[in-house]
Chains A and B, each alone.
Chain A
Amino acid sequence: QQQVKQSPQSLIVQKGGIPIINCAYENTAFDYFPWYQQFPGKGPALLIAIRPDVSEKKEGRFTISFNKSAKQFSLHIMDSQPGDSATYFCAARISGNTPLVFGKGTRLSVIA
């Protein structure tokens, strides 16, 4: 049972473009939604996270948009750079001692 559905599986954008990665969840008890970034040969690292009491959060060039009624959230990367090329994972959890549930990942390639 996949609790967090992520799309697209892969994405290619030109430098300066705005890639958008989408995630949908089913469990309305989820109350913490992070995004992790993974470079080849490395483990995932926390990029940005949001709670459902806000609809948007920005950190530098990265923005999470959250739609509680639709049970969807997305990651936008402004002015994307080749250095942003990585695999991005959305995730969700219920606060407390519960495991983080990940989407299947999106491989992003930013070409110059």
Chain B
Amino acid sequence: GAGVSQSPSNKVTEKGKDVELRCDPISGHTALYWYRQSLGQGLEFLIYFQGNSAPDKSGLPSDRFSAERTGGSVSTLTIQRTQQEDSAVYLCASTGGGMNTEAFFGQGTRLTVV
């Protein structure tokens, strides 16, 4: 596709359920990033991938959060046993991987845990 695609755009889930968020980066982009943004807050770094490997997972808030990337393309962010504090917009971005390259964002997945 022409841009970064995320699905679903909105997700309402019950506390305790697992959710899976998907990101389809721009074709050929080697680096992929996941961020979380709570209402009125800045972007909180979660994890990034270079190819299929994740050099930095330091931003994942707890072991309930995991992410994977396959084929150097699509990535999924999984949140197990969701809590109300997980409610936020989850943004994915991709870049060509070099320095000084623009990060293109998807429109995000708005997650609401009730």
Task: Please say whether chains A and B are actual partners in one complex.
Answer: no
Interface residue ranges, B against A (CB under 8 Å): none
